[in-house]
Structure 1
Amino acid sequence: MRRASFPIVIAVCALSLLWVGTASAQAPTTSRVLVAKVDGSIDRTVAGYLTDSLAEGERTGAAVVIQLDSAGTLDQPAVELAERLFRSSVPVIVWVGPAPAKAQGAALLFMYASSLAAVAPGVGVGPLEPVDLVDAANAKLPDDAALERMASGWAEVRGRPTPAFPSSVVPAQDALDGHIAQVVATSLPDLFTKIDGSTVRTGGGPVTLHTEIAQSPSQQPVEVRFTELGPFDRVLHAVASPAAIYLLLVLGLAGVAFELTQAGFGFAGFAGLGMLALAVYGLTVVPAWWPGIGLLMAGVILLCADVLLHRLGVLSAAGVVAFLAGSFLSFRGVAPTIGISPWLIGFLGIGSFLYYGFALTVAQRSRERIATTQRGLVGLVGETRGELKPEGPVYVKGTLWRGRSNDGPIPPGTRVRVRGVDGLVLRVEPDPGAGGDLPPDEA
């Protein structure tokens, strides 16, 4: 019996070693998921956020799911970003969704470079050209044939069929049939369920995905973490578009111009400066045609000149023409997808004409009329209707004015004499010599 059992022991040991060897050869699994949302053009801020998300996924061993809705990069190295996705040592799953999301240009290149691409019903995929939304950036990229060879090589390494390269927008089913996408998923939870158990190839070798959300205590839990741009980065991303820059420029200049009709520099001026600062940042991200920006600025200056001259004439007409020409030419080097709408240009053109030609002119004349009236108040006696410390209400010649004390706080009900005018503010001081009621012409 002992001799008979010896071969059995040897066989069991051999089978055990074979099982261990097979298990060790299996692809590693990951039960961590990092979701990064890429929405809109991929500008400097979004490109940095995307590379940081990939680095975090590699550091934590999490599969990176990119929720994508983009028409391409914005003056960013599209091919380098796609190659970064392809070389990632952790799975990179690109999901275009929810509807009506799109993946065009560099975003489509990301689908080719991913470990697995998925689409939601109702989305649009393609075309690949233009890869970047700035014409000058596209001139530096490989030609169409080179990009297609690159994407086909990625598919071969991933073990996928050669993908299609649509010349126009195609629906989700065509993207699936053309081997651009491998899965159709209506939502992220649906995607996690459908790709669970799939083995995908990464820059570090094959990895088996464990992404299904646990429905019972017996299931292995999955750690899912959602990331997005921070508040400050969201603002920077929002202003990095031609339409946003144009709107900020026009409104910012209008706010600063408004202060030309005022004695001091108030809220409108500071708000205008803030908008102009954001517009300047946007111009560092989105390449502009500077002669067009110059025409736009010249148009506003001509409109302001007529405001100061109290008329509506040749300068205003020339200003409107320059304003409209600059509006159309400022961003002529970007793709129509992100270009400024002619409707927006028309609306702001008419609005600027009415604002500078009428509203600011009326405000300027009103201010000058008030200033003339105030200069006539110098030397008159009035009464404080509230405490001046140093400013407060002063009643002079039948009207309530804003007064400023020259000699410290002044209590309510004190007789004061107007000693000067600072813009729209009366400089006053107590007048001990004024007795009795105010004269009728000063009451």
Structure 2
Amino acid sequence: MNTLRALLVSVLCLVAVAALSQQAAAPPDGAGTGRAVLLEINGPLGPATSDYVVRGIQEAAAQRAQLIIIQMDTPGGLDSAMRDIIKAILSSPVPVVTWVAPGGSRAASAGTYILYASHVAAMAPATNLGAATPVPVGGGQQPAPGEPPADPGDDASGQGESEGVGADDTEPAPMKGGPEAKAVNDAVAYIRSLAEQRGRNADWAERAVRESASMTAERAVEENVIDLVAADMGELLRAIDGRTVSTEAGDVVIQTQGLAVESVQPDWRTELLSVITSPTVAYMLLLAGIYGLIFEGYNPGAIVPGVVGAICLLLALYAFQILPVNYAGLALIVLGVLMMIGEIFVPSFGALGIGGIIAFVVGSVILMDTDVPGFGVPLALIGSIALLGGSAVMAIVWFAVRARNRPIVSGREDMLGAEAVALDDFSGTGLVRVHGELWNAHAGAPVSQGQILRVKAMHGLTLEVEADESKEN
């Protein structure tokens, strides 16, 4: 008993010592842990990227990291994904440094907005940013009627003077085209608000949206578009050491001496989301789901097509729910597939099948309601599936025409004119054999056993027969 009591006291003492040690080692509220979190953006911004970055910022704040570094190389992406990332940056109590690197990288379109929103904007040499004009559905912005096209030499590269058209200068001629103008004006207001909050060049930001202006890293520093140029991580950390930035939690002095940079890679959830939300994968999942359910409907009890089809269809619908999908295109794809399958069961001689192919192709082309790079269904894939469907339809039509021209081999029509053999002598009604089957037969003249007869009519289950004169001769 004494031994048990001593053991219990020892365990309690160890727990108390461990708790006190952990409390002494824990930093006070607001203190850094000597740790920086590195998040990497490579490629177009989509739902998976925004989920990865937003969760990375939130977890870094929860773990009281001292700094968040976003290393970025992107051609742009979806507006919804960009805004989610910017909201996370603006609400972060931990300073966020966005660094366009390595050399040769870019922060185009949505990447420019993220740079402007960050507490510190940095770029590596030989990188660029800009071209932040919203991409409308169906292609780029067209000049208004009567307006000359944009001159490629009008300093669109941002190498000339940076004083673009601002709020206090003469406004450019308003854009025509309704929805496009609204989208551009909304984007201008958004990026100017970010620039003004961070004290950066708001006039050039407006030019990047209205004129798709671009700029190199070195020029961006001169024009107060970004804060600094850093060739590597060490140079970046040295350059921002001691810089004071304003965060959601107040002013914070960045301290990078002895800071350990920990790279956070996308987890399985982000990787899975990245695969599912790929437009090509979502498109294939949709087709697999539709065909799987249809095959299960025509073969009840097969189970496997139904299970696979249901899973694929639900995954596709989940992906389409967070992708910029044109639901008219989605409806046309479903209609086209159903019409092509209907061609198998309805003798339309190609009308349903050809109409289904047209609906399928049109729906596939307009399925993604955006022209953002990386977020569209490849035309080669659409063409391949349409060609496969068209070949199937043509094969069905060919088999139908061939079957129509073949002689009838069953039914009433096949019996008329068929050869019959009398099984015994009879006058009036007796038994005959036709196609190996026994039938009741009625003859207008006496019939002898083994006589060859010809069927001339059919009354229910009784055949009307007569002597085959060609056999008698």
**TM-score above 0.5, yes or no:** yes
Partner of 1:164: 204
Q: Distance in 1 between matches of 2:99 and 2:295?
A: 48
Deviation, 1:334, is: 1.6
Aligned positions of 1:114-125 closer than 5 A: 114-121=118-125, 123-125=127-129
State how many pairs are aligned: 322
Partner of 1:57: 60
Partner of 2:50: 47
Deviation, 1:296, is: 0.9
1:355–1:161 CA distance, 2 compared to 1 (3 A) = same
Deviation, 1:280, is: 0.4
- Give yes or no for contact 2:41–2:72 (8 Å, CA) kept in 1: yes
After superposition, give the CA deviation of every residue in 1:275-302 in whole Å (9 maximum; x if it has no partner).
2221100121124222221111111111
Deviation, 1:149, is: 3.1
Match of 1:302 among 311, 334, 339: 339
Q: For residue 121 of structure 2, give the secondary structure of its aligned residue in structure 1.
A: strand
Task: Give the alignment's Cα RMSD to 1 decimal.
Answer: 4.1
Larger Rg: 2
Partner of 2:100: 96
One-letter amino acid of the counterpart of residue 152, structure 1:
A
After superposition, give the CA deviation of every residue in 1:31-61 in whole Å (9 maximum; x if it has no partner).
3101123345544554344333323333313
1:133–1:72 CA distance, 2 compared to 1 (3 A) = farther
Please say if 1:335 is aligned against 2:371.
yes
Deviation, 1:75, is: 5.4
Q: Distance in 2 between matches of 1:133 and 1:47?
A: 22
Please say if 1:293 is aligned against 2:330.
yes
- Give yes or no for contact 1:296–1:326 (8 Å, CA) kept in 2: yes
Q: Distance in 2 between matches of 1:230 and 1:137?
A: 37
1:103–1:355 CA distance, 2 compared to 1 (3 A) = farther
Match of 1:319 among 353, 356, 366: 356
Please say if 1:197 is aligned against 2:200.
no
Deviation, 1:122, is: 5.2
Partner of 2:254: 208
After superposition, give the CA deviation of every residue in 1:286-327 in whole Å (9 maximum; x if it has no partner).
242222211111111111122345896222211111111111
Q: Distance in 2 between matches of 1:276 and 1:336?
A: 25
Partner of 1:112: 116
Please say if 1:126 is aligned against 2:130.
yes
Partner of 2:193: 150
Partner of 1:23: none
- Give yes or no for contact 1:78–1:132 (8 Å, CA) kept in 2: no
After superposition, give the CA deviation of every residue in 1:375-409 in whole Å (9 maximum; x if it has no partner).
xxxxxxxxxxxxxxxxxxxxxxxxxxxxxxxxxxx
Q: Distance in 2 between matches of 1:192 and 1:356?
A: 61
Aligned positions of 1:6-405 closer than 5 A: 31-59=34-62, 60-72=64-76, 74=78, 76=80, 78=82, 81-82=85-86, 84-98=88-102, 101-121=105-125, 123-130=127-134, 143-156=186-199, 164-165=204-205, 166=208, 167-185=212-230, 189-190=233-234, 192-195=236-239, 197-203=241-247, 204-210=250-256, 220=258, 222-257=259-294, 264-265=301-302, 267=304, 269-308=306-345, 313-331=350-368, 333-337=369-373, 338-354=375-391
1:323–1:264 CA distance, 2 compared to 1 (3 A) = same
Q: For residue 224 of structure 1, give the secondary structure of its aligned residue in structure 2.
A: strand
One-letter amino acid of the counterpart of residue 210, structure 1:
T
Partner of 2:431: none
1:208–1:263 CA distance, 2 compared to 1 (3 A) = closer
Structure 2 length-normalised TM: 0.56
- Give yes or no for contact 2:79–2:110 (8 Å, CA) kept in 1: no
Partner of 1:19: none
One-letter amino acid of the counterpart of residue 370, structure 2:
V
Taking only the aligned residue pairs, the percentage that are identical comes to 23
Structure 1 length-normalised TM: 0.60
One-letter amino acid of the counterpart of residue 37, structure 2:
L
Between 289-298 and 340-349, report the one with greater CA deviation.
340-349
After superposition, give the CA deviation of every residue in 1:179-212 in whole Å (9 maximum; x if it has no partner).
333344455x45555536352413221413316x
